[in-house]
């Protein structure tokens, strides 16, 4: 097998810290793992390379030898025991003179086979968390006015959810351990569910407050009256003051949306009045409006 530049395999420089090596390895391992790239031989080869690179660079002693001897790092102890420091000959990939003895390229990359147990029968491959899954759940605004339970199916598995009242559009919750299986004994990934909750035809939600337009006739607006208004929690009686103008807003305290994970607290409901002008007036009605107009003058 050809020589592998471990730093290049992980996409890091020689000055990388232990923390940076670990982060680079996990990022690359997730990207090229066989479960994510089934039947992709190039990805499988890359996955082997980054595991080999991590095995060496995450070990301070091995990394020191690799930095000094390049592809011959595995035989550093033999060089040092001979008191020669490093034999003369060709140059290694690090720019230092390379060993010209009887070691073959197969000797160097057979390291990978022994590392992963192909020779010894014991695997030393690192374990890490499985792949996270993402899903979207679409609900009506009225659905999330109260806490409810739902069952969703992800990858053939039924997952029962308790959805707290007041959850918001675009909010994401994490269901721990319901993602992809862990690798080599690592923990399972997580399931992230994003909620899509459009506004109701009757109500508009902003945070914990609700907004609604209510149409009233001209006579109610002018003279005042008591009307019945639908809220999320039921019907309420609402007094309309005389001479109410078109576009007037009133607040119904505590008639808005429940606060997330605190169902005993609610936002407010804001009502905007829309005054409806009468149409198809009779001649008598027109005469009366003319009289009113003259009186106003």
**Higher pLDDT among residues 297 and 279, named by residue:** 279
CA 233 to mean position of chain CA atoms: 33
Q: Give the end of a domain, one of 149, 179, 196.
A: 196
- For residues 94 and 33, state if they share a domain: yes
Q: Choose from 57-61, 62-66, 81-85, 274-278 the range with maximum mean pLDDT.
A: 274-278
- For residues 28 and 80, state if they share a domain: yes
Q: For 216-226, what is the mean pLDDT?
A: 95
- For residues 218 and 188, state if they share a domain: no
Structural domain total, the chain: 3
- For residues 15 and 99, state if they share a domain: yes
**Higher pLDDT among residues 117 and 132, named by residue:** 132
Report yes or no on 1 lying in a domain.
no
Give residue 203's pLDDT. Answer: 96
Q: For 266-275, what is the mean pLDDT?
A: 97
Report yes or no on 99 lying in a domain.
yes
Question: What SS3 class is residue 68?
Answer: helix
Give residue 48's pLDDT. Answer: 84
- For residues 149 and 186, state if they share a domain: yes
CATH number of the domain within which 183 lies: 2.60.260.20
Report yes or no on 288 lying in a domain.
no
Give residue 80's pLDDT. Answer: 64
Confidence of residue 254 (pLDDT cuts 50, 70, 90): very high
Mean pLDDT taken over the chain: 82
- The tens digit of pLDDT for each residue in 23-77 reads 988 888 888 877 777 778 888 888 888 888 888 898 898 898 888 877 777 776 7
pLDDT > 90: what percent of the chain? 43
Give residue 83's pLDDT. Answer: 52
Give residue 82's pLDDT. Answer: 57
Give residue 93's pLDDT. Answer: 40
Report yes or no on 256 lying in a domain.
yes
Q: For 226-231, what is the mean pLDDT?
A: 96
Report yes or no on 20 lying in a domain.
yes
CATH number of the domain within which 16 lies: 1.10.287.110
- For residues 14 and 110, state if they share a domain: yes
One DSSP character per residue, 174-238 reads EETT-SSPPBTTPPP--EEEEEE-PPPSS-EEETTEEEEEEEEEHHHHHH-EEEEEEETTEEEEE
Structure tokens at 203: 């109500």
- For residues 144 and 166, state if they share a domain: yes
**Higher pLDDT among residues 119 and 78, named by residue:** 78
Which of 162, 161, 165 minimizes the C-alpha distance to 142?
165
Q: Give the end of a domain, one of 196, 231, 246.
A: 196
Report yes or no on 122 lying in a domain.
no
Report yes or no on 139 lying in a domain.
yes
pLDDT > 70: what percent of the chain? 82
- For residues 40 and 95, state if they share a domain: yes
Report yes or no on 291 lying in a domain.
no
* Torsion over CA: 214, 218, 221, 224 (sign): negative
Give residue 90's pLDDT. Answer: 39
**Higher pLDDT among residues 186 and 225, named by residue:** 225
Give residue 49's pLDDT. Answer: 86
- For residues 107 and 10, state if they share a domain: yes
Q: Give the end of a domain, one of 61, 84, 115.
A: 115
Residue found under tokens 């399931």 = 191
96, 98, 99, 102: CA torsion to nearest 10? 160
- For residues 93 and 150, state if they share a domain: no
Give residue 81's pLDDT. Answer: 63
Give residue 225's pLDDT. Answer: 96
In eight-state DSSP terms, residue 139 is -
**Residue 217: which domain range?**
204-280
- For residues 56 and 107, state if they share a domain: yes
- For residues 91 and 187, state if they share a domain: no
């Amino acid at each position: 097998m050809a020589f592998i530049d471990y730093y290049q395999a992980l996409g890091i420089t020689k000055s990388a810290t232990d923390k940076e090596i670990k982060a680079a390895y996990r990022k690359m391992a997730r990207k090229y793992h066989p479960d994510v790239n089934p039947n992709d031989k190039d990805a499988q080869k890359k996955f082997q390379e980054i595991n080999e690179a991590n095995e060496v660079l995450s070990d301070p002693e091995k990394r020191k030898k690799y930095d000094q001897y390049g592809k011959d790092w595995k035989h550093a102890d033999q060089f040092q025991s001979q008191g020669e420091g490093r034999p003369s000959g060709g140059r290694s990939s690090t720019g230092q003179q390379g060993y010209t003895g009887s070691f073959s390229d197969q000797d160097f990359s057979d390291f990978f086979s022994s590392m992963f147990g192909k020779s010894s029968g014991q695997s030393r491959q690192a374990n890490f968390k499985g792949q996270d899954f993402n899903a979207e759940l679409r609900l009506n605004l009225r659905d999330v006015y109260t806490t409810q339970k739902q069952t969703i199916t992800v990858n053939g598995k039924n997952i029962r959810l308790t959805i707290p009242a007041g959850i918001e559009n675009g909010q994401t919750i994490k269901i721990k351990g319901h993602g992809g299986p862990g690798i080599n004994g690592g923990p399972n990934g997580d399931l992230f569910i994003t909620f899509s909750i459009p506004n109701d035809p009757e109500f508009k939600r902003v945070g914990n407050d609700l907004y609604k337009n209510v149409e009233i006739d001209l006579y109610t607006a002018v003279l005042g009256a008591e009307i019945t208004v639908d809220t999320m929690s039921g019907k309420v009686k609402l007094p309309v003051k005389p001479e109410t103008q078109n576009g007037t807003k009133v607040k119904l305290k505590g008639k808005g949306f429940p606060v997330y994970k605190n169902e005993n607290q609610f936002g407010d409901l804001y009502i905007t009045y829309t005054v409806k002008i009468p149409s198809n007036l009779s001649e008598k009605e027109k005469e009366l409006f003319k009289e009113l107009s003259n009186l106003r003058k």
